[in-house]
């Protein structure tokens, strides 16, 4: 069984959100489908371009974006990612997805 990837237009709006996790500052970029659902995520570690944490963050965002474009929900991704004993997200992607789920 293969999922069909929902492609995004070449030109689309992009939103930036800054947050902190484990003593590091991150900038996340997001794109949405026309109906408002999250479609893509970009994660960058501020000031640490090229480092291992930056590469892992970027890779996790690429995989999350592909999953979203193949029909996975943000909630499915949030629950699939590693959690601490207190239920908080362990990694930067999980922290960011939790941040998106908080009411404004």
Please report how many Cα atoms fall inside a 13 Å half-sphere around the Cα of residue 17, on the Cβ side. 18
Q: 17 - beta bridge partners?
A: 28
Low-confidence residues of the chain: pLDDT under 50: none
Cα distances (Å, whole numbers) of residue 53 to 20, 46, 103: 13, 11, 28
Give SS3 for 45.
Answer: strand
Report d(CA 86, CA 38) in Å as an integer.
26
* pLDDT per residue as tens digits for the range 48-62: 667 889 999 999 999
């Amino acid at each position: 069984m293969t999922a069909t990837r929902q492609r995004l237009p070449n030109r689309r709006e992009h939103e930036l959100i800054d947050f902190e996790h484990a003593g590091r500052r991150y900038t996340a970029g997001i794109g949405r489908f026309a109906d408002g659902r999250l479609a893509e995520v970009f994660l960058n570690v501020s000031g640490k371009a090229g480092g291992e944490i930056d590469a892992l963050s970027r890779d996790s965002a690429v995989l999350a974006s592909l999953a979203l474009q193949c029909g996975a929900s943000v909630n499915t991704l949030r629950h699939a990612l590693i959690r601490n004993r207190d239920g908080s997200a362990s990694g930067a992607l999980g922290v960011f997805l939790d941040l998106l789920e908080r009411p404004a």
